[in-house]
Structure 1
Amino acid sequence: MQFQLTTDFIATIEQLIANKDGHALRELLKEYHFADVAELLEELNSDEATYLIKLLKSKITSEALMELDEDLRERILENLTPTEIAQELEELDTDDAADIIAELDDKTQKEVIDKIIDEEHAADIVELLNYDEDTAGALMAKELVQVKETWTVAGCVREMRRQAENVTRVHSIYVTNREGKLTGRLSLKDLLTASEKTKISEIFIPKVDYVTVHTDNEEVARIMQKYDLEAIPVVDENGVLVGRITIDDIVDFIKEEAEKDYQMAAGISQDVEADDSIIALTRARLPWLFLGLLGGVGAAAIMGGFEEVLNNHAILLLFTPLIAAMAGNVGVQSSAIIVQGLANDDVKGSIGNRLIKEMLLAALNGAALATVLFFFIWGWKGTIDYGLSISVSLFVVIIVAGIIGTFIPLFLHKRGIDPAIATGPFITTSNDIFGILIYLYIAKLILGI
């Protein structure tokens, strides 16, 4: 039966915590999955959540900690001693342990590492902390199963049994030479069907996809997606096998990047959540809103320069919101497609070719929309001049907006800047300004004002 967190269940847990009834809490929660425990912890205050973390077995609570919102986890960790944190980290794979310990201040980090009983585990965590963020080295886990190409099948099986005790899931068996350099992978089927005296060098598969410790996380995600990998080995500068990245780690990374890009595209400059404080949400939103304000002021200034035209031809003023909206919409559509293509590595060729394609697409769409608008204005006002001036303006504005929406993210990508910042308010604001300027200027030319 699927776990469902009800208000009655939460109330029961809170009452047991208030009564300090540890025995009843252990009995009630002993069969629950760590993800269910994490969901429960999210509904409790930090003191209640800390009580449960201290009460339950670290095998469950360590994994539950990884599922928690960062803010709640930070508050819980502040209530734990270095020894208690070390006990949680000892139950986690090195990559997850490194993620948690990275959230602590330097002094607490050192105290916690000193309290970890398994010295090899502690050393592995420290190694991961030394890699640059957003690289394969920082994302990988040290736990894996590796065998030497010089071993026999019998010796290989014995060694694999020993190594597997420290590995949560065995996705692949990696083969290395005497120096520890990655040379291939081993098929479980080949291992089981081969003679016990057969050398691993005779049955392993030399072709294996891998990344280095300095490979960017986005590149790791692209490789794993392209080749449909559940795990990928990581090597150092000398080709020595040092870790592996599993699919769950890369999915978490992709999710985080998608959330950041979505927020950036919506005009939020920091990584925030709905439950964050009003001050934090204001800091994240205000910069882009200020950009929108500047854009509006710029558009008003441009319209002020055409004040006489607008006073004498009020119909132009009526269609100003339409022109601005179409410019913003086309720009956002174009940039969104490019950003998505860049993220999926689907955008090939030169910027020039991409701009030409987008210009032709925008011209086709613009022609269709401008034709409809022309006949609408002609039928409404009974004059060709207004219909022609407004519809031609719309046609040109759509082409320009498409080019801007395509060029800016491509340009930013070439310069190593996240192209997601080009979408949303940035493109909308810039196209609003250019759209209104083009609209009023073309209208003025065609009407002979």
Structure 2
Amino acid sequence: MTPFKLTEEFIAEIEQLIDNRQDASITSMLAEVHYADVAELMNDLDEDHATYLIKLLDTEKTSETLTELDEDVREAILGNLSAKEIAGELNELDTDDAADIIGELPKGMVQEVISELEDREHAKDIVDLLRYDENSAGGLMAKELVKVNENWNVLTCVKEMRAQAENVTRVHSIYVVDDEGKLKGRLSLKDLLTTSTKANIKDVYIPKVDYVNVNERPDEVARIMTKYDLEAIPVIDEIGRLVGRITIDDIVDVIREEAEKDYQLAAGISQDVEADDSIWQLTRARLPWLFIGMMGGIGAASIINVYEGAFVKFPILLAFIPLMQATAGNVGVQSSAIVVQGLANDTIKKGEILGRLGKELLLGLVNGVALAAIFILISHFGFNTTYMVSFTIGIALVTVVVNAAVIGTFIPIFLHKRGIDPAIATGPFITTSNDVLGILIYFTIAKHILNF
């Protein structure tokens, strides 16, 4: 099948059809279009046109479309729908997606929408999910799953599974519980098919099963599922009862959001923003780090001012200040990026911290010596500096590189141990600190060797 491509011509045609109320033509054009592509289309339409499509198209498609929309677009569309219309969309969704949408509604409308849901069991499950923090496994999980009792025989198990599977979009696993609903293990479909119908489930189920607690952090759930290549993972409450499951599609969203957040932190943006946010929101996100960068620049300028007498005797030192700052910043960001990645992937263990510091120190030393050797040749022949001045700047360069490597390694680990996202260390924080320290090291070494 040829992938759908949204073009300006297609958008203009849909808008014209909506304006002319050509409902049959619109329905025909979008009949074979995937709901994710319909969402992309709606993101590019104005509020009125998008709302018209939601009300026109089949609820089964539009309910899934709502989950794919940009948050601000979805909020605007929901604001144009009645409680009954919203409930109609939620009736078609899994409980986790329905709970996410209800959680975005104004408080005064939540109860009204829930009361309009046709399936009371579905409504009860959604209300149950709403009590969990959105930044927890409980806030990610869905109630739809297939579970069987360890005391059933195989025949009873198959009958119950058929009934439960009607409400489950995709059956990843069959979970086994006891009479109190506590998770005991999982059931292999192969074992179920090859075992006597009179056999008890407790004699054939697999007791080993990966699971997470409702209070587990989403990033930890993502780590576990990624590590063990799981398509779904069961969620238990504080006393071990099976209360839901998290599927891989939800974890992909978590991984994407975490990557976006880390990228913004690394770029010096202190909160989650998008390109179409207001000037005020973008300013609030960027200004704190810009201020830190400015203070770092003032600190570096103050150090340079202290050593201004050196420029009379050795003016060439001034020319290589950008070299020290750029090299320190680059090395620090490289080291911290590797460490942050290791912490995120859990490849840096608690006992390996000193080893990691030692490795980065040695790596900084090797890189620093290599850069210094190249610099000495270039500076002597390209800038006509004396060997003593070139050697001095080379020594400073090695020291700056080693220092930047150690700082770039230590700060993310320190932040991680304090429960702070270490991604914050990979951007302006590391660059600014290494800029200032690099200048201080540069002039301190130059002063002692050149005696100015």
Same fold per superposition (TM over 0.5): yes
Counterpart of 1:421 in structure 2 is 424
Q: Show the counterpart of 2:113.
A: 112
Say which is worse superposed, 425-434 or 363-372, in terms of deviation: 363-372
SS in structure 1 of the partner of residue 4 of structure 2 = coil
For residues 377 and 6 of structure 1, the distance between their equivalents in structure 2, rounded to whole angstroms, comes to 55
1:8 and 1:438 mapped to 2: Cα distance?
60
d(CA) in 1 for partners of 2:337, 2:369? 22
Say whether 1:8 aligns with 2:3: no
Aligned partner letter, 2:33: Y
Query: Is it true that 1:393 corresponds to 2:396 in the alignment?
Result: yes
Q: Which residue number in structure 2 is paired with residue 372 of structure 1?
A: 374
AA at the equivalent of 2:142? A
What does residue 440 of structure 1 align with? Answer: 443
1:411 and 2:426 correspond: no
What CA deviation, in whole Å up to 9, does each residue of 1:297-332 have, x standing for no partner? Answer: 111111111111123211100000000000000110
Alignment of structure 1 residues 43-58 onto 2, 5 Å: 43-58=44-59
Q: How does 1:130-149 map to 2 (within 5 A)?
A: 130-149=131-150
- How far did 1:100 drift? 1.1
* Separation of aligned partners in 1, 2:264 and 2:171: 36
Aligned counterparts of 1:247 and 1:424: Cα–Cα separation in 2: 30
8 Å contact 1:377–1:386 — kept in the other structure? no
Partner amino acid for 1:344? N
| 1:271 alignment partner in structure 2 | 272
Alignment of 1:80-119 (within 5 A): 80-119=81-120
- 2: CA distance between counterparts of 1:411 and 1:108? 44
Identity level (%):
64
- Counterpart residue number, 2:163: 162
Matched residue, 1:213:
214
**Within 2, Cα distance between the matches of 1:267 and 1:7?**
34
Q: 2 CA distance for matches of 1:73 and 1:271?
A: 18
In 2, Cα distance between equivalents of 1:384 and 1:30: 76
Deviation string for 1:210-245 (max 9, x for gaps)? Answer: 111111112111111111111110111111110001
AA partner of residue 86 (structure 2): I
Once structures 1 and 2 are overlaid, which stretch shifts more, 163-172 or 75-84?
75-84
Cα deviation, residue 31, structure 1: 2.5
- Is the CA contact 1:93–1:141 (under 8 Å) kept in the aligned structure 2? yes
- Matched with 1:22 is 23
CA offsets 1:331-354 (integer angstroms, 9 cap, x no match): 101110110000000112253332
After superposition, the C-alpha distances for 1:178-202 in whole angstroms (9 at most, x for unaligned) are 1111111111111112222222122
Residue 370 of structure 1 and its aligned partner are, at CA, apart by 1.1
CA distance in 2: counterparts of 1:382 and 1:60, whole angstroms: 72
Aligned pairs (5 A) from 1:217-228 = 217-228=218-229
Aligned-pair CA distance for 1:433: 0.5
Partners of 2:436 and 2:209 lie apart in 1 by 52
**How many angstroms apart in 1 are the aligned matches of 2:300 and 2:265?**
23
The whole-number CA distance in structure 2 between the counterparts of 1:85 and 1:389 is: 71
Contact 1:231/1:244 (<8 A) preserved:
yes
Q: Give, in whole Å, the separation in 2 of the partners of 1:310 and 1:261.
A: 41
Tell me which residue corresponds to 2:247.
246
- 2:308 corresponds to: 307
Distance 1:31 1:393 in 2: 65
2:420 partner SS: coil
**What amino acid maps onto 1:6 in structure 2?**
T
Larger displacement relative to structure 2 (342-351 or 162-171): 342-351
Instruction: Give the whole-Å Cα distance in 1 for the aligned partners of 2:262 and 2:441.
Output: 30
Q: CA deviation at 1:265?
A: 0.4
Alpha-carbon shift at residue 63 of structure 1 (Å): 0.6
Match of 1:86, SS state, is helix
Q: How many residues align?
A: 449
Classify 1:382/1:49 alpha carbon distance in 2 versus 1 (closer, same or farther; 3 Å). closer
Report the 3-state secondary structure (helix = DSSP H, G, I; strand = E; otherwise coil) of the residue aligned with 2:206. coil
Task: Give the distance between the partners of 1:254 and 1:171, measured in 2 at CA.
Answer: 20
Provide the C-alpha distance between the structure 2 equivalents of 1:86 and 1:51, rounded to a whole number of angstroms. Answer: 17
Label 1:327 to 1:177 Cα distance change in 2 as closer, same or farther (>3 A): same
In structure 2, C-alpha distance between the alignment counterparts of 1:83 and 1:158, rounded to whole Å: 34
**Partner amino acid, structure 1, of 2:408:** G
Structure 1 residue 382, shift from structure 2 partner: 5.2
Q: Deviations over 1:388-415 (max 9, x none)?
A: 1100000111111111111111000000
Runs of 4+ off more than 3 Å: 350-353
The CA distance in 2 between the partners of 1:287 and 1:196, in whole Å, is 66
User: For residue 64 of structure 1, what is the aligned residue in structure 2?
Assistant: 65
CA distance in 2, matches of 1:113, 1:440: 68
Q: Distance in 2 between matches of 1:281 and 1:335?
A: 26
Kept after mapping to 2: 8 A contact 1:299/1:433: yes
- Structure 1: which 5+ residue stretches go unaligned? none
Of residues 343, 346, 354 in structure 2, which corresponds to 1:352? 354
TM-score normalized with structure 1 length: 0.97
Structure 1 residue 431 corresponds to structure 2 residue 444: no
Contact 1:371 1:391 (8 Å CA) reproduced: yes
Deviations 1:230-274 (A, max 9, x none): 111011111111000111111110100000000110011121122
Cα deviation, 1:100-122, whole Å, max 9, x if unaligned, reads: 11112211222211221212111
Please, which runs of 5 or more residues in structure 2 have no aligned partner? none
Question: How far apart, CA to CA, are the structure 2 residues paired with 1:256 and 1:311?
Answer: 53
Distance 2:13 2:369 in 1: 65
